[in-house]
Amino acid sequence: MKISKVVVEPLDIPLKESFEIALGRFDMAKNVLVKIVLQNGITGYGEASSSEFITGDNQNTLISIINYLKPLLLGKSIEEYIKILQELKRAVKFHPGAFMALESALLDAYTQTLEIPLYKFLGGVSSKIETDITLSISSLENMLKNVFYHLKRGFKIFKIKVGKNVKEDFEKVVRVGEEFPQIEIRIDANQGFTPKEAVKFINSLVEKGIKITLFEQPVHCKDLKGLKFVTENSPVPVAADESVFTPEDAFMVARERIVDVINIKLSKCGGILEALDIISIARASHLELMIGCMLESNVGLAGSVHLACGTGCFSYVDLDSPLLLKELPFKGGFELEGPFLTVKHIERGLGISPA
């Protein structure tokens, strides 16, 4: 079945509340929507979130690159999706957001033609995962209010963004942990600490009896020596996020035992095929896996949900972006019930349809 049309357009979605991390602040998800239409009318969906602070791409550059790549898709057979992707990746430099969105649309269309859901195509190990919910850097009052709100909706795992101010961060995490001893807390510093600050920070929290289960990207992404130092001196597992984009990066941190956990994001590695390579490296090295996201709506997140369900290999799931958005322009991809993401009801592809 041949590809007859490729549509790329901006998808701006306002956030429920402004989102701040150590690297910047956002009020709007400036995303990009991709649709690949086959001759028989089947439409595959993909989305990229622009996360310029992390990937260097913004909405405009992603749209230009995808438009530039269009001729490499039109008229091609969807059955040759791997060959098509290889050609796309050879044609331009590494733009993981663009690759991720195009791959999602290709795989969605392909598995629709096969009449199976993507998570089954990827192994079908499970059909339900539990995500954490992220608390961005904000006032303590706001953070406590957010924990209370999400606890009532069934969330048990909270990821707290830190890395702007060691002292304030420490006090906030302690207060949240003391106020809500029943929750599990993951910490993400987004590169904001020095190695020594990070080690002191995490040890002091654990000594205080706060239930921390993961420490994500404590130091600068290029400081692998510092990251290893934190891992060796942390009482909880340390995860690499910004330090690992590609399978090559994953191989490096695995070989040098830099971290305990690798956080895979399709928006960093460029899609599911690369994610599968990272998964293999992590498994062979006995590293644990986390799956994360940027600010994708359910369209862009669906590939990650299907990957996590299909492979069943992620110990830490951080796929909460739709919960941070004010509205979702499309339906489907998965179903959200509190912290649970389920794909069991999906019959073909990603299961996305216009709202």
249-277 burial, b at 16+ Cβ within 10 Å, e below that, comes to bbbbbbeeebbbbbbbbbbbbbbbbbbbe
Going by C-alpha positions, the residue among 281, 301, 300 that lies closest to residue 289 is 281
CB 260 within 8 A of CB 231: yes
d(CA 243, CA 249): 7
Residue nearest Mn ion by beta-carbon distance: 241
Would residue 265 show up in a list of annotated catalytic residues for this protein? yes
320 binds Mn ion per the rule CB under 5 A: no
**What minimum distance in Å lies between the beta carbon of 188 and Mn ion?**
4
- Specify the DSSP element, H or E, that contains 227: helix 224-232
Is 23 or 144 the residue whose CB approaches Mn ion more closely? 23
Q: Which residues pair with 24 in a beta bridge?
A: 21
Choice between 56 and 209, CB closer to Mn ion = 56
Q: How far is the CB of 221 from Mn ion (least distance, A)?
A: 10
**Least separation in angstroms between CB 261 and Mn ion:** 11
Kindly name the residue from 161, 172, 228, 268 that is annotated as catalytic.
Answer: 161
Query: Token digits for 89?
Result: 């990746």
Count of alpha carbons within 13 angstroms of residue 348, beta-carbon side: 11
Give me the catalytic one of 35, 159, 172, 265: 265
Binding mask 187-206 for Mn ion (x = CB under 5 A): -x------------------
Size of interface with Mn ion, in residues (CB under 5 A): 3
Q: Which of residues 159-188 bind Mn ion (CB under 5 A)?
A: 188
CB of 355 to Mn ion, least distance (A): 29
- Binding mask 227-266 toward Mn ion (x if CB under 5 A, else -) reads --------------x-------------------------
Per DSSP, the residues of 158-187 read: EEEE--S-HHHHHHHHHHHHHH-TTSEEEE
Nearer to Mn ion, 34 or 264 (CB): 264
Q: Would you call 326 a catalytic residue per the annotation?
A: no
What is the closest distance, in whole angstroms, from the C-beta atom of residue 123 to Mn ion in the complex?
25
CA gap 23, 54 in Å, rounded: 8
By beta-carbon proximity to Mn ion, the closer residue of 108 and 188 is: 188
Q: Which lies closer to Mn ion via its Cβ, residue 47 or residue 216? A: 216
Largest Cα–Cα separation, the chain = 62
Residue 12 CA to residue 247 CA, distance in Å, equals: 30
Catalytic residues: 161, 265
Which positions lie near Mn ion, rule CB under 5 A?
188, 216, 241
